[in-house]
Amino acid sequence: MAQIPLIDYDFDREYYGAVQVGEPPQTFKIDFDTGSSKFILSSKACKDCSGSTRFDPAASHTFRLNNEYENELGNKNSSSTFTSDPNTWHITYGDMSHAEGILGRDHVTIANLTVRHQQIALILSESANFDDVVDGIMGLSFGTLSSPSSHPQTLFENMMDQGLVKHGVFSFYLGKNYPNGTSDPIDSGSDYTGGGEVIFGGVDTSRVREGFEIVYTPVTKPKYWQINIENIFVAGQRKQSNIVGIMDTGTTLMIVPERLAFAVHQLIPGAVQISGQSWTIPCDLTSTTRIELEIEGHRFAIPFSDLVREAVRLDGQMASGIDKGNGPNFMIIGDLFIKNNYVVFDQANQRVGIAPLKFPSLTKHSSSSKNSSYSA
């Protein structure tokens, strides 16, 4: 089991942790993203890549290009699984940022666990709006999302195959922070300090609020962490039913159907739609009004106060944490939800577990490994 502390960057916009790649190891800031499947890393050969550290393949004696690794395995038929050059890749994310480069293999170390021969997508070029904070993105959805590839397995799938974890689950706790590191502007009794943690191979049940248990729901499309949401309530009123959602740690906001986005912002006095999909809202929203997702008969909440994002140019207005998506019955469940609920990704059983999060204001939490356990 491996526990990785996370840094909460820029008002909960992004969470990242330390990962080492190669032999001898090179250390990078990595975003752990359940909404994608490739392990993407800035390379030394990229002149304008983001991040502060770039991987140097020549400095690692265990690095191999993808086809070199296949040849060493004696996989003569590996080229037939590719539609193009087996050493190249390209990706475009939902925000239309994109990157491309070469595929390689190397050892990846997370805390005390080393995954051998992990496929790595090294960036040679990227769009101007690509992530400018981290050095790489570790995809943790299902490997079948990455196609074509000779071995399209995510790092955690390889971790399971190589016997590095006893249990095929990983879990996320995402902390809360506010501008300038302050506590909740509404709840003066809170003690949010940001941060977070991802555990590979375990579940920290001490993160679950007293009186609650982890509720599991099946993955409906094992490419993404896609689940069914029975109902969505806003201020206690049911506003939409039967929605498909993707649990995505790599997305800051909640991307919801147009009808639901309007329903939420109609209940916020002073909300202003500023573009086709975005709103601004006042900074002083109450934490008692909530959005609730009903999953397996249980409701999981997001307080309205957490919808308040970064300041925008309109006086006294802040960006909203709810954006409008394109589909009428599809949503992306981003960090806005996950920082209020402990989430378990059960790869072995293809299911997602959710429980209300125990906040620091309710009890101080020790991050020692003795608090971590596996909960089926």
Domain 2-172: CATH superfamily, name plus number? Acid Proteases (2.40.70.10)
Q: By the 8 A CB rule, do 31 and 15 touch?
A: yes
- DSSP state string for 319-372: EESEEE-S-TTEEEE-HHHHTTEEEEEETTTTEEEEEEBPPTTT-----SGGG-
Give the residue-averaged pLDDT of 181-195.
48
Q: Where are the alpha helices (DSSP H) in the chain?
A: 66-73, 155-161, 258-266, 335-338
Residues 6+ away with beta carbon under 8 Å from 307: 264, 268, 281, 285, 320, 321, 322, 336
What amino acid is encoded at 26 in this protein?
Q
| Residue 366 pLDDT exceeds 80 | no
Tell me what pLDDT residue 193 has. 62
Percentage of the chain lying above the pLDDT 70 cut: 83
Class for the domain spanning 204-356: mainly beta
Q: How confident is the model at residue 75 (pLDDT cuts 50, 70, 90)?
A: low
Tell me what pLDDT residue 359 has. 79
- Tell me the domain boundaries of the chain: 2-172, 204-356
Tell me what pLDDT residue 260 has. 94
Tell me what pLDDT residue 49 has. 80
Q: By the 8 A CB rule, do 217 and 228 touch?
A: yes
- The residue written with tokens 């943790």 in the block is 140
**Strands 308-311 and 317-320, bridge-based pairing:** antiparallel
Tell me what pLDDT residue 151 has. 53
185 or 357, which is more confident?
Answer: 357
| Residue 124 pLDDT exceeds 70 | yes
302-306, 355-359, 370-374, range with the lowest pLDDT: 370-374
What does the CA dihedral 251, 249, 336, 339 come to, rounded to 10 degrees?
-160
- The residue written with tokens 């209020």 in the block is 340
What amino acid is encoded at 252 in this protein?
T
Q: Is 33 a catalytic residue?
A: yes
What's the mean per-residue pLDDT of the chain?
85
Q: By the 8 A CB rule, do 165 and 113 touch?
A: yes
Q: How confident is the model at residue 177 (pLDDT cuts 50, 70, 90)?
A: confident
Instruction: Answer yes or no: same fold for 2-172 and 204-356.
Output: yes
80-89, 212-221, 280-289, range with the lowest pLDDT: 80-89
Three-state DSSP state, 106 = strand
- The residue written with tokens 């009186």 in the block is 211
- The residue written with tokens 């070029």 in the block is 125
Helix-then-strand count for the chain, H and E = 4, 25
Q: How confident is the model at residue 116 (pLDDT cuts 50, 70, 90)?
A: very high
72-86, 99-113, 351-365, range with the lowest pLDDT: 72-86
- The residue written with tokens 């998506």 in the block is 325
Q: By the 8 A CB rule, do 225 and 192 touch?
A: no
Q: How far apart (Å, rounded) are the C-alpha atoms in residues 16 and 273?
A: 31
Tell me what pLDDT residue 208 has. 97
Give the residue-averaged pLDDT of 227-238.
96
Give the residue-averaged pLDDT of 128-147.
80
Give the residue-averaged pLDDT of 84-97.
74
31, 106, 248, 335: the catalytic one is 248
Residue 16 pairs with which residues in a beta bridge? 7, 31
- The residue written with tokens 């975003």 in the block is 31
Across 6-10, 75-79, 198-202, 309-313, the highest mean pLDDT is recorded for: 198-202
Q: How far apart (Å, rounded) are the C-alpha atoms in residues 243 and 126?
A: 33
33, 106, 184, 204: the catalytic one is 33
51 or 343, which is more confident?
Answer: 343
pLDDT digits (tens, 9 = 90+) for 244-267: 999 999 999 999 999 999 999 999
Q: What is the pTM of this model?
A: 0.88
294 or 67, which is more confident?
Answer: 294
- The residue written with tokens 């981290």 in the block is 134
What are the structure tokens assigned to 276, written together? 């086709």
Residue spans of beta strands (DSSP E) within 10-162 = 14-21, 26-33, 39-42, 64-65, 88-92, 98-110, 113-126, 136-139
Residues 6+ away with beta carbon under 8 Å from 366: 206
